[in-house]
Amino acid sequence: MSFLRKGSRAALTACILAATSTAASAQPPLLTPLPAPAAVNPARAELGRHLFFEPRLSGDGSRSCASCHIPSQGFSDGEPLSRGYNGTEYFRNAPGLLSVRLKSRLMWDGRGTNLVGAVREMVLSGQFMNGNAEIIVERIRQIPHLFMLWRRAFGESGERRGDQVFQSIAEYLTTLDFGRSPVDSALGGEGSLPSLADEGMRLFKGKAGCIACHHGPLLSDGRPHRLGVPDHAALVRDPLRTVSLLSHYAENGLANPMVERGDIGVYAINKNGGDRGSFITPGLRGLSHTAPYMHNGRYDSLDEVVDFHDRGGGPGSELRPLRLTAHERRALVAFLQALSPPLQDVAEPPTHEYLPVDRIRR
């Protein structure tokens, strides 16, 4: 390089550095283990644990967060389409909540980047729990054990606010993590996968190309993609679900929502025409516990999900056909099943009784 002028050498150096940076940024996506547990406020997390299972947060006292996020179902509900608040029905599948702290987008349609805000929406929305923050505060005042936990979490004095309820539930959710799966052990060099699952992992990272959208600790890129999943029949068969869907569109400012009849996903939130029918990539951990699958519970088994992807998805899909053999599809399912560690037992708190109004501490 001695024959190059000073300016030329600088330009060449800049080009080399730029190329190196580009190469580094173009590293292929990886399967990565879960990060260390999050640091939490133990008193607020304990209050949140009790509130998560407390039905009196809902308008009529009939539903809790755990009504749709059941611990034994991986904190999902096992239904294709979630139940709505009494007198309504919902139009999407209830996602599991394990390691929800790591999600960049919390809802299927991309809304919700803040866990406290998402809890607030679920508790107050007329489609879910139909709660009222001021009424919730007053109800907790009348439940001695919950009020004791509240004082312990936020101090003996000071204003009691509904946002403290949402913060506490979010703090509890932050403590929920997946356990270590057989895939994690294999990636850490602490064991090996069964041969079929190991073959599936190679397909996942290679021929099938799943890792392009399913990578990182949750195996999700957190971005919207259009797969052409057919609408669930109940969406148009059940008027209550249709009403909930159209109400959701109207509440999010969609122009002329009444012309829509299917689930248009992310488009209803960002109004970007290219995202019509797109949904955020789900994580793949714990799949054995959270059937049925997709944003609308359209498929009951992992075999059906793999077959759907192998065909290249449905109408308008951005997927390409994989053309896997029957054996390769079985191997891919075996790998997906190996991403599911056993679920930990979660003890539901006991029901706490109300205190007579004349004995309430203010």
- Examine the pLDDT at 2 and tell me if it is beyond 90: no
Q: Which domains does the chain have, with CATH numbers?
A: 42-177 (1.10.760.10), 182-337 (1.10.760.10)
Mean confidence (pLDDT) of the chain: 91
- Examine the pLDDT at 300 and tell me if it is beyond 80: yes
| Phi, psi torsion values for 31, nearest 5 degrees | -80, 125
CA distance 247 to 139: 29
* pLDDT (tens digit per residue) in 268-280: 999 999 999 999 9
- How many percent of the chain have pLDDT more than 70? 91
H or E stretch at 279: strand 279-280
Average pLDDT over residues 245-268: 95
CA distances from residue 331 to 120, 160, 197, 349 in whole angstroms, order as listed: 41, 54, 6, 40
Instruction: Note the pLDDT of residue 319.
Output: 97
The DSSP string of 218-239 is TT----EE---PPPPTHHHH-H
At 27, is the pLDDT very low, low, confident or very high (cuts 50, 70, 90)?
confident
Instruction: Note the pLDDT of residue 236.
Output: 86
Average pLDDT over residues 302-307: 98
CA distance 348 to 345: 10
- Examine the pLDDT at 357 and tell me if it is beyond 80: no
CA distances from residue 341 to 68, 118, 184, 189 in whole angstroms, order as listed: 21, 26, 10, 17
* pLDDT (tens digit per residue) in 134-185: 999 999 999 999 999 999 999 988 889 999 999 999 999 999 999 999 999 9
Pairing state between β 224-225 and 279-280 = antiparallel
CA distance 211 to 193: 18
Average pLDDT over residues 246-267: 95
Instruction: Note the pLDDT of residue 10.
Output: 43
H or E stretch at 280: strand 279-280
Least Cα distance to 330 among 301, 352, 353, 356 occurs for: 301
* pLDDT (tens digit per residue) in 187-242: 989 989 999 999 999 999 999 999 999 999 999 999 999 999 999 999 989 999 99
**Residue 70's beta-bridge partner residues?**
76
CA distance 204 to 336: 9
Instruction: Note the pLDDT of residue 305.
Output: 98
| Burial letters 261-300, b for 16+ CB under 10 A, else e | eebbbbbbbbeeeebbbbbbbbbbbbbbbbbbbbbbbbbe
* pLDDT (tens digit per residue) in 84-110: 899 899 999 999 999 999 999 999 999
